């Protein structure tokens, strides 16, 4: 047996990817699984973006590019931040990476020393605490349950900050809850942050365009916060481009340069063809983004209505992203005669094996009383999945 590092030994595998893999394996065995586990748009990447990628190959854009991305893409992202978010960034402040996942991880690696604390509101995206651990930092979890709309309060933030706090990770719209912070709520958090200069915010805005409440609010737009905030975003969700692996940060120049140095030593530039595809996404017609948003909004209404019909579930209406995160703890202790449901992961496994619906237990999101369903799938799949889930829940006693 190889000696494995303590860093990798401590790490948990990604629960979202594990559940998606498991559901793909069962599907390959011919079992009719409905996959509500992974958070990935079911749409194809829009045609004009795919054509731009083909053109990039034909034009010979197949070599190394500058580590932080081709100049045209960094410029297009800076223009997007100006036009859509009202924020002024120079292209040098934009670093393009292999997906927003790498962008978050790069930033944590650039900012944290051993013993530093990273504040992570729960429910959280599964990878945040693991990335903080990879950086040698200590995750500090602040709990925001369904009763507070899954959003932390300024008082909770104030209580969690210590002299060792280096980073707050704030994800809005949120994976896994769909909660969206309003501009006023962000202002109130900024009031706290302005009193604690040692804290930098990683603002994960990957679901910016999947918002059902109107305009996206960015923490970087709050007074005094742009100098302290690293915006993370990318093309995966807004343009249905998960496989292309393009994300970015927009950050104060010193942080941008630090992540560029890191990236230059371990992954270099993100794929050249993908960068040209992302350029077409940002420069092209934005109608496709709105069409997908409208489809997600319709599906959200459908899944929320059907989920509310399941006895024992409590549902908070999501304002963004494409997840619903019902509380299912009223079912804990119940049995179908074969097994007892003790945790949300037990419940997700029960749904997978008995209802053939893949979801993800809330344990991995720091919220053991809930479970996550992604509604980035067809209306028919949503209807059939919830019919099966309701029947499976009704068999529990």
Tell me how far, at minimum, the Cβ of 38 lies from ligand GLU, in Å: 5
Does residue 242 bind ligand PMP (CB under 6 A)? yes
DSSP state of 329: G
Does residue 234 bind ligand PMP (CB under 6 A)? yes
> With contacts defined by CB under 6 A, how many residues of the chain interact with ligand GLU?
11
Total residues belonging to the chain: 397
Listed in sequence order, the residues at least 6 apart from 116 whose beta carbon sits closer than 8 Å to its beta carbon are 136, 137, 138, 164, 165, 166, 167
CA distance linking residue 273 with residue 65, whole number of Å: 10
**Of 21 and 198, which CB lies nearer to ligand PMP in the complex structure?**
21
CB 330 within 8 A of CB 222: no
Does residue 100 bind ligand PMP (CB under 6 A)? yes
Omega before 176 cis (within 30°)? yes
Half-sphere exposure of residue 261: CA atoms within 13 angstroms, side-chain side:
9
Candidates 34, 39, 123, 179; binder of ligand PMP (CB under 6 A) is: 39
Candidates 33, 38, 193, 262; binder of ligand GLU (CB under 6 A) is: 38
Sites for ligand GLU among residues 87-146 (CB under 6 A) = 101, 125-127
Q: Strand 323-324 relative to strand 247-250: parallel, antiparallel, unpaired?
A: unpaired
Listed in sequence order, the residues at least 6 apart from 165 whose beta carbon sits closer than 8 Å to its beta carbon are 116, 117, 118, 119, 140, 196, 198, 199
DSSP run (H or E) holding 184: helix 183-193
Among 98-106, 215-223, 305-313, 360-368, which window interacts with ligand PMP (CB under 6 A)? 98-106
**Of 335 and 381, which CB lies nearer to ligand GLU in the complex structure?**
381
Tell me how far, at minimum, the Cβ of 48 lies from ligand PMP, in Å: 20
Tell me how far, at minimum, the Cβ of 193 lies from ligand GLU, in Å: 26
Does residue 206 bind ligand PMP (CB under 6 A)? yes
Candidates 80, 101, 327, 372; binder of ligand PMP (CB under 6 A) is: 101
CA distance linking residue 110 with residue 271, whole number of Å: 22
**Of 318 and 396, which CB lies nearer to ligand PMP in the complex structure?**
318
Half-sphere exposure of residue 279: CA atoms within 13 angstroms, side-chain side:
20
DSSP state of 14: P
**Of 17 and 302, which CB lies nearer to ligand GLU in the complex structure?**
17
Tell me how far, at minimum, the Cβ of 344 lies from ligand GLU, in Å: 15
The residues that touch ligand PMP, with contacts defined as CB under 6 A, are 39, 99-101, 125, 171, 175, 204, 206, 234, 236, 242, 247
The residues that touch ligand GLU, with contacts defined as CB under 6 A, are 14, 16-17, 38-40, 101, 125-127, 175
């Amino acid at each position: 047996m190889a000696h494995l590092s303590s860093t990798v030994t401590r790490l948990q595998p990604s629960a979202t990817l594990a559940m998606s893999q498991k559901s793909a394996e069962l599907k390959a065995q011919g079992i009719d699984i409905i996959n509500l586990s992974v958070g990935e748009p079911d749409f194809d990447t829009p045609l004009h973006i795919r054509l731009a990628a083909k053109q990039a190959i034909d034009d010979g854009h197949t070599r190394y590019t500058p580590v932080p991305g081709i100049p045209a893409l960094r410029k297009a992202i800076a223009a997007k931040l100006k036009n859509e978010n009202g924020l002024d960034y120079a292209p040098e402040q934009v670093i393009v990476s292999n997906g927003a996942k790498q962008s978050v991880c790069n930033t944590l690696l650039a900012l944290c020393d051993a013993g530093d604390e990273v504040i992570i509101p729960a429910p959280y995206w599964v990878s945040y605490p693991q990335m903080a651990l990879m950086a040698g930092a200590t995750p500090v979890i602040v709990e925001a349950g369904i009763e507070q709309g899954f959003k932390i309060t300024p008082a909770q933030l104030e209580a969690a900050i210590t002299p060792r706090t280096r980073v707050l990770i704030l994800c809005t719209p949120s994976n896994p809850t769909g909660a969206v912070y309003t501009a006023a709520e962000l202002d109130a958090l900024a009031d706290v942050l302005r009193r604690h200069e040692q804290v930098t915010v990683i603002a994960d805005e990957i679901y910016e365009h999947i918002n059902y409440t109107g305009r996206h609010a960015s923490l970087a737009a709050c007074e005094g916060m742009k100098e302290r905030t690293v915006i993370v975003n990318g093309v995966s969700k807004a343009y249905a481009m998960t496989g292309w692996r393009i994300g970015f940060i927009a950050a104060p120049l010193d942080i941008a340069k630090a992540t560029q140095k890191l990236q230059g030593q371990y992954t270099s530039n993100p794929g050249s063809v993908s960068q040209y595809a992302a350029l077409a996404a940002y420069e092209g017609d934005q109608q496709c983004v709105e069409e997908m948003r409208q489809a997600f909004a319709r599906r959200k209404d459908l899944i929320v209505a059907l989920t509310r019909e399941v006895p024992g579930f409590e549902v908070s209406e999501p304002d963004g992203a494409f997840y619903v995160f019902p509380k299912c703890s009223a079912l804990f202790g119940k049995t179908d005669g074969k097994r007892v449901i003790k945790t949300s992961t037990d419940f997700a496994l029960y749904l997978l094996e008995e209802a053939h619906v893949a979801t993800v237990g809330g344990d991995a999101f720091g919220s053991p009383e809930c479970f996550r369903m992604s509604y980035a799938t067809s209306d028919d799949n949503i209807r059939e999945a919830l019919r099966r889930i309701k029947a499976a829940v009704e068999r529990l006693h």
